Amino acid sequence: MTFDHRSEHRDDGMLLIQANLDDMNPEYVPYVTELLLEKGANDVYWIPILMKKGRPGIMLNVLAEESQLSDLEEIIFRETTTLGLRYIHASCHRLGRSFEEVETRYGSFRVKVGYHRERRVQFAPEYRECEEAARTHQVPLKDIYEEIRRAYALRNEELE
């Protein structure tokens, strides 16, 4: 069977918004990241860079739909020290996705599942649920992840 990867979920019209910052307090990074994600950014990441005259800085990278640009610009200009932004047009190919529930001794958890060529190739627990369970049950976060991954793998092994 031949498979056309273009039939999987594909987003065109994406923008990579960038800003180099050498004068911003790095303590603002988590706050700005959350605001951007809440406003619809698909991804936000920061990279340490070396700027002119040897100054350390950070590069803000925001991947977003073009329709989100105005709202995201507002946050970046209001909450960071940048005086300008760069835009790079990008096309993204994403795996098909679904969410499944898995039961563990710590409760029920959502697992994000990724598909390529109609085959499951990735799965991962949802972080926030894992964090909450780790705090509630007072166990290491890594133990929650391992328990969910083990339960998911075992359940799917039985289904095949």
What SS3 class is residue 119? strand
CATH 3.30.390.30 is the classification of domain 8-93: no
Q: Where are the alpha helices (DSSP H) in 62-104?
A: 69-79
| Percentage of residues of the chain with pLDDT beyond 90 | 74
CATH code of domain 96-159:
3.10.20
**Six token digits for residue 126:** 């949802």
User: Does residue 6 come out as left (phi exceeding 0), alpha (psi in the -120 to 50 range) or beta?
Assistant: alpha
Cβ-Cβ contacts under 8 Å for 110 (sequence gap 6 or more): 99, 100, 101, 125, 126, 129
Residue ranges covered by each domain of the chain: 8-93, 96-159
Please indicate whether residue 2 or residue 33 has the higher confidence score (pLDDT).
33
pLDDT in tens, 44-85: 999 999 999 999 999 999 999 999 999 999 999 999 999 999
On the question of a common fold for 8-93 and 96-159, the answer reads: no
Cβ-Cβ contacts under 8 Å for 12 (sequence gap 6 or more): 91
Rounded Cα distance between 10 and 51, Å, is 35
